[in-house]
Amino acid sequence: MQVVSKGMRATQLYLPNNPVYQRAVDNIRTAFRQIWQATDDLIFDIGETEIRWEDHSIYSQDQRHESIAWTLFKDGVRSLTFKPGVEDAEIVRFLAVLQQAKNLQADAADDLLTLLWAEDFQFVTYTFRELASENAVPIERSEKGAPTIGGGGTPGGDGGSADPATVRHQVEEEAPPKREGLVSIDDFDTTLYFLEDKEIEYLHKEVEREYAQDLRGNVLAMLFDLLELQTYGTVRAELISIVENFIPYLLGAGDFRSVAFILRECKVILQRARELIPEHRQVLEALPTRLSQADALSQLLQSLDEATSHPTEDELSELFSELRADALGTLMGWLPKLTNERVKALVQNSAERLAQAHAAEVLKALASADPAVQLEMVRLAGRLKLPGAPDGMGPLLERGERELKLAVVEALTTIGSPSATRLLEKAIDDAERDVRITAVKFLGQRGHRNAFPRIEAAVVGNKLKDADLTEKMSFFEAYGALAGESGIATLEKLLVGKGGLLARKEDPETRACAAMALGKMRTPAARDILQKVSQDKEALVRNAVSRALREVGTAAAGGGDKA
């Protein structure tokens, strides 16, 4: 029915030649063909907000404008039957009729029943009630127009009155026979006294308390009490089997709080139960592990993401808190696939908890063959500043795609540990421009001297010859921050030239970068060199010198601004 509901939305939003529409129709046909392997027909009972199959609710939607159940119920349909073959052509027509009925105006001449009758379905049947006469009781009137029950009165008396005993007898005779099993108040003697208000209030509270009890929780608590106290192996084996079989039912019913309760109680039983044989201990220990395995957890996450009604955040949090460490990779792989924001946030919180507690699983997720898992794990490690994560990021920086490399560098700059800075040194020579820029900027700001040889080689050599201005500026500024006094001569040569002001000079971009690098040194010698070229004929160089002088903090900054 979830597939049919999605198909109805597809018929509403897309034309028949749209791939989304065609895929939705194919999913419906596949689902029906699977059903026909187990049954010869599907008979549904229609309610206001839900559709039931053999007394089981298999579809529920409280939003009436989106509900298939309400669309059928409001026009009188009370049961619906699908037969094998409906999937070939009629199911698409049936969904189109439902969509048309939803959009009918209140004063329209047609209704859903008229539309269904006009289609003359062969594999779809239904029953309905006439809404105008539903629950109606006809009232017979006398010749004078006044409603009367019984005879016309006693001889000589008022024709409008009747003997009460006669009236009661006639009513009993004319009343339809009682249905078998129906309880009538006439079968009981009424009490002489009414209950006091306090007693009525007490009864109301007790009824509310009874209905508010968590019946599943009580049953599970009794099961675990028996499992702890009963030392007979056969009894315990049967109880463990009941618990095992109960978990899929609870997951299907969306009772995640009870599943979390089972997993917690299993740990308690392992600690407190007497004479627990190894076979039983092994089964109880494996329950949380089985839920954390990739297949089971993936199915659970997909069901949560596609569900029309969702459990509360507390229920999901309790369940996810019981997951084992090996669930981390599966959670990270599903994060980019989830569309429900609440489920996505809970999955992310659970992944963060597991990542902080299990460093080995972090490295395992970083070494995953799935790039999506690697990317999400790198981002998570950066957010949490996991100090051990850089140990698994080296191969990603060497062989990863551009997006993954950028995420690795950003995570390393956030972590900032010694192992992270060592990897960032290697990123200076990376083939990706953005990776190089991010690494150089961070290392220059941190004053990481070990990176200076690589940065110096790029500034002095030809590596930056074809680089754009942003990359050149990043390398030169990092060089100025790390070189100290020993780098002034190199920068002066690039900014001013070998033979002074009239000598052949470097290109304007390189000279502007050299000026910004001198500004990072903030020494009197650097300031003097900058003042020499404050009136340079190249606008780009003049602006860079002006900014550098402001950074050095001299009074000549104002003259640089005017220039």
Is pLDDT above 80 for 137?
no
122 and 11 inside one domain: yes
Q: Is 544 within a domain?
A: no
Confidence (pLDDT) at 132: 54
Confidence (pLDDT) at 396: 86
The alpha carbon torsion through 65, 70, 72, 73 (nearest 10 deg) reads: -150
Residue 88's domain comprises 2-128
172 or 1, greater pLDDT: 1
> CA–CA separation, 292 vs 330, rounded Å?
8
Our measurement of the distance from residue 319's CA atom to the centroid of its chain's CA atoms, rounded to an integer in Å, reads 15
Q: Is 308 within a domain?
A: no
Q: Is 62 within a domain?
A: yes
Confidence (pLDDT) at 159: 45
13 and 118 inside one domain: yes
Q: Is 396 within a domain?
A: no
Q: Is 239 within a domain?
A: yes
Taking the model in full, what pTM does it have?
0.49
SS3 category, 50 = strand
Q: Which of 196-200, 293-297, 356-360 is predicted most confidently?
A: 196-200
**Under a CB-based contact definition with an 8 Å cutoff, are residues 41 and 81 in contact?**
yes
Q: Is 140 within a domain?
A: no
7 and 120 inside one domain: yes
Q: Is 488 within a domain?
A: no
> CA–CA separation, 344 vs 337, rounded Å?
9
Q: What is the pLDDT of residues 238-269, one digit of tens each?
A: 998 888 888 878 777 777 778 888 888 888 88
Please tell me the total count of domains within the chain: 2
Q: Which residues contact 447 (CB under 8 A, 6 or more apart)?
A: 481, 482
Instruction: Give the domain-ending residue among 242, 262, 292.
Output: 292
The number of beta carbons lying within 10 Å of the beta carbon of residue 395 is: 12
**42: β partners:** 82
Is pLDDT above 70 for 168?
no
pLDDT-derived band at 144 (thresholds 50, 70, 90) equals very low
Sign of CA dihedral 364, 366, 367, 372: positive
Q: Is 468 within a domain?
A: no
**Under a CB-based contact definition with an 8 Å cutoff, are residues 542 and 534 in contact?**
yes
> 420 is written with which tokens?
């992270």
20 and 123 inside one domain: yes
> CA–CA separation, 6 vs 19, rounded Å?
14
Q: What is the pLDDT of residues 501-551, one digit of tens each?
A: 555 677 888 888 888 888 888 888 888 888 888 888 888 888 888 888 888
Instruction: Give the domain-ending residue among 272, 292, 312.
Output: 292
Q: What is the pLDDT of residues 461-515, one digit of tens each?
A: 888 888 888 988 999 888 888 888 888 888 888 888 665 555 567 788 888 888 8
111 and 9 inside one domain: yes
Instruction: Give the domain-ending residue among 104, 128, 152.
Output: 128
14 and 122 inside one domain: yes
> CA–CA separation, 309 vs 296, rounded Å?
20
